[in-house]
A and B are shown apart, each in its own frame.
Chain A
């Protein structure tokens, strides 16, 4: 009798009460409003809904409402659904090995309910009446019968009202809204057969038709501009039974400056997997310049036992049983698809596949004959064709070319085949790799010749930090300036050097001044995601100081009606889209001064001389002198070196002179 109070008094360890447990669990599942939306959409999908409506108020802090027409629940289930680890989706541990539903942990609703006020109204078809359950901060406060059509409606109000700490970490409404919007877009793309309707304060934001066609879903999310250029992904034939990989990717000339346009779905679940990202970036490296990403929809389906989603409560992480196989499959699919496009640098004395080549050529890709187009020209009939047929001398437009069926993957027998006499080679990375689980092809990817920066001995060059009595000798490959100083040889990247000069000039000229604006006769339509539209609506006016003028038309479309003009160069259509894309990707927490500096970087990059521009001696010297006058001559505004050095010592050493 005496012992028990003794222990209670001295003991510091005790079992937490149920509410606290739920709140801790909620910390993992419910990180922010977007995670609530994700969990609830997944519940609706698991309940076999055909149509899901999502209404958000104040970035989800005030209200998240999800209405579905799924199977619904009976009263007993509806109450039980609020307890921890209550689920209808699995019942034995074995089922964890092959999960067919999006949810399975049975903790989402309980977690959400513990940090908000939840109203659940549901009706199962074979019951005569529906149920309404009210739950505040994890405690059920009322259960009553109510009339409701088949399906479930969940309202989550005052999220995190009982966790002030978490509330403080919430970002602005616009940012939370953008996150929610991104999540919804991912599910629209993952479930084209479901009709989504997403509204914000009862104003429609995005909706999909649920026709079951992925193209329609892409159209709903990204709009017609992007959709028409997308290329379907074709998986290689040598894959495993039950494994499919479908989707779309935009061609390199339609690249975006943020990775958020990439939707990776595994078994229709939106995931962020390190393995997949690595495989994707490896495949993209040969086609997209650094920092540029495609719009990608990537739908990988695997037999349940090949993938483990039970890694983290949020279920956005997955583990694959055979990582090498998955890596190879993703890599090969993307590479074959992209190399079928043949936006490839011609093989010549200069070698192939450098990122710069692709960058410069993607800009003029519509004028760039490819093996595909050559075929078109050659197969066009000559005489006696109807007048409306394709003329002999004509050239398909970029649009036609991109609609041309993607070339089939090369078979091993044809590896390295060249198109005779055209000077074109299929992209070196398009080599065929055997794709068998556990095959050794994995290491071969590392040796892919198209990888930049793996030149042997490139480490021998070191960035310059000081030059002593330097002089310029000549121009190398119309792209670099060679010079000597007391230490030896130095190489200047003419583009980077000019970028630095222009950037400094702009900064100097416009530190206090407003940037001049060049209004446009024909405004530029901006390609924005639903989430980006919010940011633009809220903060677009700040860009006025930078010479931009952004307006929204009645149909919701945003236009740039004025663009900045610096030093006589006004920003072009592409640069405007790029710059705004980058800006919208990370606007939060950045000051107008930082944004201004980004604008200068972009404008400097566009206005600077390019690799391949021939410079006269006077120009070379003037460029060099101007560079030395800048405050930070040896780094370009993007942080890359402008000058590299090969010392006399290194040269002597390599020639084996003692």
Chain B
């Protein structure tokens, strides 16, 4: 195997592919990046058996071949090479008589790395000539929706619905839904058109979300394909295949607050400021932040037997009977971080019912449902 390619391209590709490999030595070969050199092209693949990221790079391939290289080592080596003009090249060549060693050389530096064969590596999907349903959407739209829902992703191992983002294709609309059972976020992609094969729920592992956000930095549009019961995301330079979880995502429409009787409108900046102000005290009270909502003004306060009290008044608009309700301040902060609107609306029913948080602007259908907190008894 022998090839040459641009250092900058290699290091960009490794920044994505290298993140898809498995950590913690689960299966040694999965900590490696697979390199496949075919005439004119180098393909880099990283997978942890949950997601698989692939990058195809233009390369000057003299001798085709393939091997796997420990990802961590390769990334460190490549990132340590100096980039000055941006046009530096890297040469890879297999040492003669040493199948398990590869030489990596730039103008001034040279490394010899131990590599492994590809027999143990999971087989790569064969996509050439394969027909499968797909559609395109803009990176910006998907990125916004992913950020909006990622705040509500859970980490619970035992519960599939809390370890995934549900890509819900219903009646021509695509919504992303995530929940950790304490809150639920629904992101909306307004302009998406998709083929009928997609019409269902796909449970994408949370593991795939940061990687997906990473490849969304590449180019302007992304193609979403349904390839053998896996979702495939393809940008100009990258491709990410993700396994889907089996299971049923709960019907989130069922828990969406309906017929809310109390509607509070707040300026995002004011609420952010208020939460920031009460947070130091709230931290020792399980982040419980109280809202005493009146007609023109809301008192936002927190108290802790150890630390003391804090309260902030902000002017708000409110329709409905006054209410005292408490939410986890951390969840509100998370929401404020992604809401992207100057004003927001909190719809409430009673102090025991979930609150519906949404931006005021009419061009977004982003929704976040947050369970209130209570002091039981």
Contact = CB atoms under 8 A, between A and B. Distances in A.
A423 B25 contact: yes
B376 A393 contact: no
Interface in A460-487: none
B246 A399 contact: yes
Contact of A547 (B183, B184, B228, B376): B376
Contacts of B287: 568
A392 B157 contact: no
Interface in A145-179: none
B125 interface: yes
A552 interface: no
A522 B305 contact: no
A367 B183 CA distance: 25
A587 interface: no
Interface residues of A, number: 54
A514 interface: yes
Contacts, number: 142
A393 B123 contact: yes
A397 B229 contact: no
Contact of A392 (B123, B162, B181): B123
B246 A573 contact: no
Contact of A363 (B157, B306, B375): B157
A383 B125 CA distance: 8
Contacts of A516: 285-286, 288, 373-375
Given A348-B25, A392-B126, A568-B287, A517 B49 contact: no
Interface in A492-514: 509, 512-514
Given A509-B306, A565-B373, A573 B27 contact: no
In this complex, the interface size class of chain B, counting residues with CB under 8 Å from chain A, is 35 or more
A267 B25 CA distance: 46
Contacts of A572: 156, 158
B179 to A, nearest CB: 6
B87 interface: no
B248 to A, nearest CB: 12
A16 interface: no
A519 B49 contact: no
Interface in B121-150: 122-126, 132
A189 to B, nearest CB: 25
B126 A565 contact: no
A450 B27 CA distance: 22
A320 interface: no
Contacts of A567: 286
Most buried by B among A509, A516, A566: A516
Contacts of A513: 305
A31 B91 CA distance: 83
B328 interface: yes
Contact of B181 (A383, A520, A545): A520
A646 to B, nearest CB: 29
Contact of A544 (B158, B184, B377): B377
A311 interface: no
A368 B26 contact: yes
Contacts of B343: none
Interface in B262-302: 283-288
Contacts of B90: none
Contacts of A562: 374, 376
Interface in B314-328: 328
Interface stretch (A18-26, A293-301, A374-382): A374-382
A28 to B, nearest CB: 45
A554 B225 CA distance: 43
B245 interface: yes
B373 A517 contact: yes
A43 interface: no
B159 interface: yes
List 7 A-B pairs, minimum CB-CB distance, nearest first: A391-B228, A516-B286, A544-B376, A395-B49, A392-B123, A517-B376, A519-B371
30 contacts: A346-B25, A346-B26, A367-B48, A368-B26, A374-B27, A387-B228, A389-B228, A393-B52, A393-B125, A393-B230, A393-B241, A394-B243, A397-B246, A509-B305, A509-B306, A513-B305, A514-B377, A516-B286, A518-B286, A521-B183, A521-B369, A522-B161, A522-B179, A524-B181, A549-B376, A565-B328, A568-B330, A572-B158, A573-B156, A573-B159
Given A348-B25, A391-B228, A545-B377, 9 more contacts: A378-B123, A388-B228, A391-B125, A391-B230, A392-B124, A393-B52, A516-B285, A518-B286, A574-B158
